[in-house]
Amino acid sequence: MFVIRILINQPESLIETYAMLSNYPILPISSEADQEDVAVVVDNNEAQDIIRAIKLNIPVAVITEKDSEFHRQAVRYVPSPAIVYYYNGKMQSDQKVFSDTEGLTVQLLEEICSYIKENKLYPCVYIWRPRQKAANQAVKQQSPESPQKPIAYKTPPTAHEPSPARKEVSQPVNKHNPAQTDFASYIDAVPQIIAVFKATSDAQASIVAQEIAQKLETVYLGVGQELQPSTINCAFSDGNIVNYNSNFMPKNVLVVEVDAQVVQAMETVYSKAARVVHVCGQDTNKGIESVKLWIQGGFKLDAVIPDQEHLLQNYKSALPQVVAVDEFIRRVEL
């Protein structure tokens, strides 16, 4: 038996019912935690509960739906095996299918908690990770049967010594010469990175990131769950392979937008970033809450940019980091 108590973010009236059906004591997440306890955060659109749970310094499980906003928040702090989501009729994590039930029962709750405790799945945020492993995996995962047209495999040239980014970067060209390399090599070839993350699911982060790249006269790199072909001014990656234009290479600065679902890439980009930008969308309440959670987690944040100019004042009233793209460009001194 691995779990002594389960701390969960549910109303006390419901917890009393759960406790009657459970082999383990079940208590509110606000209770004082013991080192043998497990915290469970059930998706209720209150991302603050995730922060409350990770501060308990005990193993944490998150129950949500795949690719939901709550899921996006959870992957920032909780190991993916501890995030259990409903998908295709099953309750599962990235590593284990727990049940084919259409939701969370008390019995399934106990099973998940035992698994979390047994595998010591504590909240975890990487400060640094080796990149060579990712590079090796990227090379191995290339498939000769890929439906995409074969592309010459190249390694980006080593960057020159840092100099003022807006004056020394490569200029856009009209010729597109598709090339491909591994993610780690492409990232490592650039001295400075501006990392752009979505604050909420409705934020148009790619539009803002591409505008920043255009005004800095450099490359935009979009990292998502699917690998896309490159364009003249844009490179794309799935976190393993990068498709890029070898005729237009970043020398001193690269603007990278990362989907939070590509966790390892997000951690790599964040650790190397000289500037971190959050892009907020139309839902100002969710945007403000998401940014505050990020800051409360102790993470770096240099700017918050709404994806629409008319939202600037709405966000500025609550977040001092809010700027327009042009103002952010003026502040960049890479």
20-68 tens-digit pLDDT: 999 999 999 988 888 889 999 999 877 778 888 888 889 999 999 887 8
For residue 225, the model assigns a pLDDT of 83
The structure tokens 């209150």 sit at 46
304: its two tokens: 């918050």
For residue 325, the model assigns a pLDDT of 93
For residue 126, the model assigns a pLDDT of 64
Q: At what angle do helices 12-21 and 106-118 cross, to 10 degrees?
A: 80
For residue 333, the model assigns a pLDDT of 59
For residue 129, the model assigns a pLDDT of 54
3-state secondary structure of 301: coil
d(CA 108, CA 313): 46
d(CA 304, CA 268): 20
d(CA 325, CA 279): 10
- Among residues 302, 278, 301, 293, the alpha carbon closest in space to that of 55 is found at 293
Residue 61 phi, psi dihedral angles, 5° rounding: -115, 145
Whether 256 shows a pLDDT value over 90: the answer reads: yes
Q: Which residues contact 325 (CB under 8 A, 6 or more apart)?
A: 208, 211, 212, 215, 305
Long-range contacts of 18-26 (CB under 8 A, 24+ apart): 18/106, 18/109, 21/106, 21/107, 22/106, 22/109, 22/110, 23/110, 24/110, 24/113
For residue 114, the model assigns a pLDDT of 93
Q: What is the mean pLDDT of residues 219-248?
A: 91
Q: What is the mean pLDDT of residues 304-310?
A: 91
- Among residues 190, 194, 196, 195, the alpha carbon closest in space to that of 170 is found at 190
Between residues 31 and 334, the one the model is more confident about? 31
185-225 pLDDT per residue, tens: 999 999 999 999 999 888 989 999 999 999 999 999 999 88
Q: How many CB atoms lie within 10 A of CB 264?
A: 17
Q: What is the mean pLDDT of residues 158-169?
A: 37
Percent of the chain with pLDDT over 70: 84
- Report DSSP state, residue 309: G
Q: Check: CB of residue 137 under 8 Å from CB of residue 230.
A: no
Q: Check: CB of residue 8 under 8 Å from CB of residue 58.
A: no
Q: Which of 133-137, 230-234, 254-258 has the highest mean pLDDT?
A: 254-258
Whether 69 shows a pLDDT value over 70: the answer reads: yes
Average pLDDT for the chain: 82
Q: Check: CB of residue 304 under 8 Å from CB of residue 316.
A: no
How far, in whole angstroms, is CA 41 from its chain's centroid? 19
- Among residues 47, 42, 37, the alpha carbon closest in space to that of 11 is found at 42
